[in-house]
Chains A and B, each alone.
Chain A
Amino acid sequence: MLAYIGRRALLAVFTVWAISVLSFVIIQLPPGDFVTSYIAQMATMGSVVTDEEAQNLRIQYGLGQPIYVQYFKWMRLIGQGNFGMSMEWRRPVTEVIGDRLWMTVVVSVAALFLTWVLALPIGIYSAVRQYSAGDYIATLVGFIGLAVPNFLLALVLLYLGFTLFNANIGGLFSVEFQDVPWSSARAWDLIKHLPIPAMILGLAGTAQQIRIMRANLLDELRKPYVVTARSKGLPESTVVLKYPVRVALNPFASTIGYTLPYIVSGSIIVSIVLGLPTVGPLLLKALVSQDMFLAGTIVLMLGVMTVIGTLISDILLVWVDPRIRLEDT
């Protein structure tokens, strides 16, 4: 088991490294010298950057040197907690991002949680009552979830909410809680606003997981050990829930890890449509105005967050599947 976790952790480290390289590429892509545009930006504000400061910045970021040197310097700065300056906001990137990353985490986790909570029982029901009305409805709804891109769904729901109920379903907080410090009231307000974004984000993943659970459970239900359980005199519900569901849970749990990148990805566009205070809208603005350190840092943080989440779900998988615990390889 330790070997398994070790392998996943090692892979996570490599993935983080790959993401950092890609984020760096994104930062470097637009033409122009970062320091030059920084000086120009400062000038519009009326403040002057001295030659000495400019030179320090150039050394700090390794400008003029080979690209891999620049990369290392950037990584070193990150190690010190310095993620660069946002051109547009004229503040350190970390300040600009602020709470938003945590909001992204909250929304993504809520969507993931919803996926689990919905997909498992619906998948089980669909398999056990195959071809029943409930099965068809679940398949249909699941199908819509897979077919309709999540941001379109968000758009349509926004429209319906606006015109039919005169309510704005976007945003994560009511007006009165928007910029106030944290309190349990604010937390409760957040929770009240979470279901709709979580559902929109999680719908495709839920549909996917329902299909997986249903298919796997159908396979397992045909196996001899289910007949054994029944022949021992166990009640039908125990026969199904204790045995084949338990076995079908393994492939189900192992694929959940891969819905996380998809959810995080989707949250970007959905939060733009719904106007959520997450990193999504911030990223778009940053890219449009070529505020590269902000954009690159967001990409980096999103990636790292996803990898950590996937690693956690891999570790949880070990808890679910005893066969991995006993493996040596």
Chain B
Amino acid sequence: MAAEARQTLLSVRDLRTYFAQDEGTVKAVDGVSFDLYPGGTLGIVGESGCGKSVTARSILGIVDRPGRIVGGEIRFRRRPADGAADQAVDLAKLPPNGPAIRAIRGAEIALIFQEPMSSFSPVHTIGSQIVEVIMLHQQISRGEAREKTIEILRRVGVSSPEQRIDQLSNQLSGGLRQRAMIAMALSCRPTLLIADEPTTALDVTTQTQILELLRQLQREDGMAIMLITHDLGVVAEMASDVAVMYLGRVVEQAPVDDIFHAPRHPYTQALLRSIPRMRSRSRERLNPIAGAVPHPYDRPSGCPFHPRCPQFMTGRCDAEEPTLRPVGDKHTVSCFLYP
């Protein structure tokens, strides 16, 4: 285990983030575990509401109130200061909004969102927002920060960055805004970039461009990417490893090829089956997953997927909760079919 801890960049174990509402507790993240390797891309896949975004926010400690991390650990390997040894820190244990976690936010772990439109402040220029994060984490002058901003804007493909830097976000197109967002995230050269549905709000052409940009930046900087999406096509293109989430749990994690060609968990299999195929016969029915995602207050007992599982075993699946077990090289599944 020590050897693995040295290898992974981010190691999440049994993370639990609950939201205490008047009507009850929503267990948005209920036992999530996965590993992320340096320079690799982990795709986190799942339907809406399965807790992907909350996981990302939990890592950075910016879960909206009334959500709180109530358990688990998030081991993150920090970038060593010159000459010093690697240091691993448990992000879940850091005081919320304290100086420790704020030093990591933006500088070592960066986040980009789904909605570039509202992710920038409407009354401040793009440039000022990027300069701000640079000056926050690096000891350089404003003039130098501005130079760096222009540089990073150019790197992500924003044309005429010297003019764009003084524009408001509503003066840029959707694609440009997303690039600016990426520039802001990358400005301090983080080791981990969390991308929460970065292309969902974009049209297909822009989507491809942005994904290509991310791949290129990753090659140049060697940073790891945690890509959160519900689009399996994007995952296939970008990810090296995939973690499938359902109702706040990771049900399967494996390298991307294994997920697509040898899925083990019934949910993963059902997901893949439901993708319409280009070469299928016309008038063939689609294969949706039976049932619907349960109400957050109506969580099923035992395995959360059991009401919809085609291989449901009475007495076992509705009584106990399965845990992640290894079934192959770097491949783990949480299902009683693989005890």
Contacts and interface: CB of A to CB of B under 8 A. Distances in A.
Interface of A: 222-225, 227-236, 242-243, 246-247, 250, 321-323, 326
A241 to B, nearest CB: 12
Interface stretch (B78-86, B119-127, B145-153, B211-219): B119-127
Given A230-B62, A233-B107, A235-B97, A246 B123 contact: yes
Given A232-B133, A322-B168, A246 B105 contact: no
Contact of A225 (B62, B121, B136): B121
21 contacts: A222-B64, A223-B118, A224-B115, A225-B118, A225-B120, A227-B62, A227-B111, A227-B119, A228-B113, A228-B184, A229-B121, A230-B62, A231-B105, A232-B106, A232-B132, A232-B136, A233-B104, A233-B107, A242-B124, A250-B123, A321-B123
Nearest to B125: A322
A235 to B, nearest CB: 7
Contacts of A326: 168
Nearest to A130: B65
A247 B121 contact: yes
Given A224-B113, A227-B113, A233 B122 contact: no
Contacts of B327: none
Nearest to A243: B121
Interface in B31-77: 57, 60, 62, 64
Contacts of A243: 121, 124
Contacts of A323: 122-123, 168
B102 interface: yes
B102 A233 contact: yes
B36 to A, nearest CB: 17
B103 interface: yes
Interface string B87-125: 000000000010000111111001101010011111110
Interface in B133-183: 133, 136-137, 168
Contacts of A223: 118
A234 B118 contact: no
B132 A231 contact: no
Nearest to B105: A233
B152 to A, nearest CB: 14
A222 B124 CA distance: 18
Contact of B123 (A222, A230, A247): A247
Contacts of A233: 102-107, 133, 136-137
Nearest to A226: B121
Contacts of A224: 113, 115, 118-119
A321 to B, nearest CB: 7
B102 A231 contact: no
Contacts of A225: 118-122
Interface in B206-254: none
B111 A235 contact: no
Nearest to B101: A233
> Which of A233, A236, A242 has the most CB atoms of chain B within a 10 A radius of its CB?
A233
Interface string B178-205: 0000001000000000000000000000
A229 B132 CA distance: 10
Nearest to B194: A231
A110 to B, nearest CB: 30
Contacts of B62: 227, 230-231
Contacts of B122: 225, 247, 323
A231 B121 contact: no
A236 B101 CA distance: 12
Given A225-B121, A229-B121, 19 more contacts: A223-B118, A224-B113, A224-B115, A224-B118, A225-B119, A227-B111, A228-B120, A230-B105, A231-B62, A231-B106, A231-B110, A232-B184, A233-B102, A233-B103, A233-B107, A233-B136, A234-B102, A234-B136, A236-B97
A246 B120 CA distance: 13
A228 B119 contact: yes
Contacts of B118: 223-225
Contact of B105 (A232, A242, A247, A322): A232
Contacts of B124: 242-243, 246
A217 to B, nearest CB: 14
A230 B133 CA distance: 11
Nearest to B97: A236
Nearest to A322: B123
> Which of B64, B118, B123, B184 has the most CB atoms of chain A within a 10 A radius of its CB?
B123
A247 B106 CA distance: 23
Contacts of B103: 233
A225 B119 CA distance: 4
Contacts of A236: 97
A231 B97 contact: no
Given A223-B118, A225-B118, A231 B111 contact: yes
> Which of A227, A242, A321, A323 has the most CB atoms of chain B within a 10 A radius of its CB?
A227
A236 B115 CA distance: 22
Contacts of B107: 233
Contacts of A250: 123
Nearest to B107: A233
A123 to B, nearest CB: 18
Contacts of B57: 227
A322 B122 CA distance: 9
Contacts of A232: 105-106, 132-133, 136, 184
Contacts of B102: 233-235
Interface in B276-317: none
Nearest to B167: A326
Contacts of B120: 225, 228
B247 to A, nearest CB: 23
A228 B102 CA distance: 13
A196 to B, nearest CB: 37
The 4 lowest CB-CB distance pairs between A and B, nearest first, are: A233-B105, A233-B106, A232-B106, A231-B111
Contacts of B60: 231
